[in-house]
Amino acid sequence: MTEEALRLSTGPDAADLIARDAAVLCGGLLAKMVERNSNLMGSQLTAYEIHAVGEATLAVLEARAKRR
């Protein structure tokens, strides 16, 4: 979470900032996974990477739910 999101954690914009940060993290991890899996010499995904994508996705969903 960014410092901006922490500072605004009680404000109405906090959920949007957290969702944005989580979406960027999730997108970056997914891009890394696609790149690795498309490389013939690449290795399989680690449990940590799979867990990180799940956590980022959950953060996005929770932030969106709080906005409603």
Residue 18 CA to its chain's centroid (Å) = 9
Write out the two tokens for 11.
Answer: 């404000």
Domain that holds residue 44: 3-67
* Nearest Cα residue to 62 out of 6, 23, 30: 23
What's the total number of domains in the chain? Answer: 1
Mean pLDDT of the chain: 68
Using alpha carbons only, how large is the chain's radius of gyration in Å?
14
Over the stretch 33-60, which tens digit does the pLDDT of each residue have?
777 666 545 556 666 777 777 777 777 7
Asked if 5 and 14 touch (Cβ cutoff 8 Å), the reply is: yes
